[in-house]
Structure 1
Amino acid sequence: MGSLSVTNSETVGESLRKIQGLIKEISDMNVSIATASEEQTQVTDDIAERLEMIHEGACKSNARSRSVSGASENLANVTATLMAQVDKFLLK
């Protein structure tokens, strides 16, 4: 009977060591997942920041294009006015 108790104790001890090893593996996996999650968050934040910069650049570019378009239209109007005045002074 005593040897059966020793055998059962050894079996229980071995089972507990296996469970402890599995718990450590799970804990290590959790650490890896947490680290990967933090890295993904950093990458996502970086991408969002860069997209915001691109958006701002596109808005500025659009505003500048409109300004250039307006200036070109004004220049065309001034040119037409000058051409009409020059046509008045042509020698006939």
Structure 2
Amino acid sequence: MITINPKDNGERDNYKLLIGTIIPRPIAFVTTKSDEGVINGAPFSYFNIVSSNPPMISVSISRKNGQLKDTARNIYQSGEFCCSYC
């Protein structure tokens, strides 16, 4: 496993890293954890680069019957998620 700290990279390096992970369109596997400690993993095909400085991505999470899905609820509660690309 490689750990990358975007603060150690320049804007151009972060851009290259992000664009290389988004094109061609992979599937993002977003992992979150609930307040109760339950791990949730969900695939997303609709995500994109927002910025290379700071490095940011967006993930579009729809609602189910008007309610937040587990992924969105967990992100709101914890402020954290892990995004892996397949």
Return the TM-score normalized by structure 1: 0.18
Structure index of larger Rg: 1
Q: Which has the higher strand share?
A: 2
Q: Which has the higher contact order (CA 8 A, sep 6+)?
A: 2
Structure with the higher fraction of residues in helix conformation: 1
